[in-house]
Amino acid sequence: MVDDLKKGLEGVLVAESGLSSIDGAEGRLIYRGYTIEDLARGASYEEVVYLLWHGHLPDEDELEAFTAALNEEREVSDDVLATMERLAAADEQPMAALRTAVSMFSATEPERDADPEDLEATLRKGRRITAKIPTALAAFERYRLGEEPLDPHPDLGLAANFLYMLTGEEPSDVHAETFDQALILHADHGLNASTFTSMVIGSTMADIYSAVTGGVSALSGPLHGGANQDVMEVLKEIDESDLDHRAWVEQATEDGRRIPGFGHRVYDVKDPRAKILQERSKELADNGEDKWYNYTTTIEQYLSEEKGLAHKGIAPNVDFYSGSVYYQLGIPIDMYTPIFAMSRAGGWVGHVLEYQEDNRLIRPRARYTGPQDKTFVPLEDR
C-alpha cells in the first residue's frame, strides 16, 4: 500500500474518463476527441451535452428529439418558485439558492423510485436537472428585481431562453451565440473539484440530484468558482478610478495586488477557452461599448509580456474574459458562478453516468497524525 501523501490529490489518478482531456502545456482541451475550438465555433450547447452524455455528436433527428425532450422539462414546480421568491426576499446568495433549487427538483421527479443502477433513468433525471436549472436561476433573479418570473420560451434554445427569462427580452443573435458558446466552454473540464465531488457522491449510488447538488456546493467555494466575478469587480474598480487603466494595473502590481483571472491549476499557457472568449469580447465591443475589452487586453499584455508572467507559466484563464463577456450581456455579477454551474451540470451528469457504468465506491485513506496509547479516564475522574 502506497503511503505517499498527495495533498489535494494533485497528480493522483483516481479514474478513467472519455469525456474530456486537458493538455496544460500546450493549452489544449478536447471533449470526446473534438477540440474545444471546433465545438465552440460549430456546435450548440445542446449538441455538446448530447456528445458528453452519449459519446457522439447527434445527427439532425437525434438533436431535434434531444432538444424537444429538454424543452419539455424546463418548467419548475410552484413550490420551487415560491422558495426562490422567499430566498430572494431574504437576500440569499444565488449559489445557495441554486443549491436549494436542485435539491428540490427531486420532489417532482416522476422516476424517483427507479433502481439506482438503472443508468437510463439516471440519464433522464440528469436531463430534467439540466433543463430546469436555467428556469430556477432566472426566476430567482426576477424575484430579486421585484418582478414575476417568465415562462420558458418554447422557440428558443437553452442559452437564448435563459437570457430571455432573465431580462424579459429575446436576445440578439450575437448575444445568444456568445452565451451559448460560453456554456460550451464551461461544460466540462476533467476532474475538477466539483466534478470529483459529484463523482464521489455518485459512487455511493446516491441519486443524481444529490450528486449535482454536491457539485453546486463545491463550485460555490471561492477557490473553485467565482474568479470571473472577481475579475469583473476589478474591471469596475478600474473604470471608477481616476487613473488610466494602464496606470491602474501598474500601480496595483507595484502595491502587490494579485489580479484575478491569471494562473490555473492545470494550464501553463493561456487557457484555450480564454482565447475564444477574448474573440467574443472583441465582437461585443465592436457592437457596443469597447472599454471592457480594452481593459482586459491591456492588463493581459502588461502582465504577460512586461511583467513576465507568461514566462513563469502564469497566463489568463477562462475567468479573465468570461467576466466582462457576461457583463456585456447584461448578466448580474453575482450570477456568474451560478451560470458556471448551469453549464457544468452537463459535465457532472456525464461523469456520474460514466463512473457508475463500472462503479466502485470512492474511499481514500488519511494518514493518522494523532496521539497513540492514551489511557481512558472515566467521566467522574476527569
Q: Which three cell numbers stand for residue 69?
A: 425532450
pLDDT tens string 323-338: 999 999 999 999 999 9
List the catalytic residue out of 175, 186, 189, 264: 264
Say if residue 8's pLDDT is above 90.
Answer: no
- Amino acid (one-letter) located at 372: Q
CB 156 within 8 A of CB 150: no
Residues of the chain with CATH 1.10.580.10: 36-221+335-357
CB 95 within 8 A of CB 215: no
Say if residue 34's pLDDT is above 60.
Answer: yes
CB 161 within 8 A of CB 137: no
pLDDT tens string 336-353: 999 999 999 999 999 999
- Amino acid (one-letter) located at 272: P
pTM, two decimal places: 0.94
pLDDT at 93: 97
pLDDT tens string 225-240: 888 899 999 999 999 9
CB 201 within 8 A of CB 290: no
List the catalytic residue out of 188, 207, 271, 319: 319
User: What superfamily in CATH does domain 227-329 come from?
Assistant: Cytochrome P450-Terp, domain 2 (1.10.230.10)
Place of cell 500500500: 1
Residues of the chain with CATH 1.10.230.10: 227-329
pLDDT at 264: 86
According to CATH, the topology of domain 36-221+335-357 is Citrate Synthase; domain 1 (1.10.580)
pLDDT at 1: 56
The answer to whether 319 is a known catalytic residue is yes
pLDDT tens string 183-233: 999 999 999 999 999 999 999 999 999 999 999 999 999 888 888 899 999
The answer to whether 264 is a known catalytic residue is yes
- CA nearest neighbour of 165 among 339, 341, 345, 349: 339
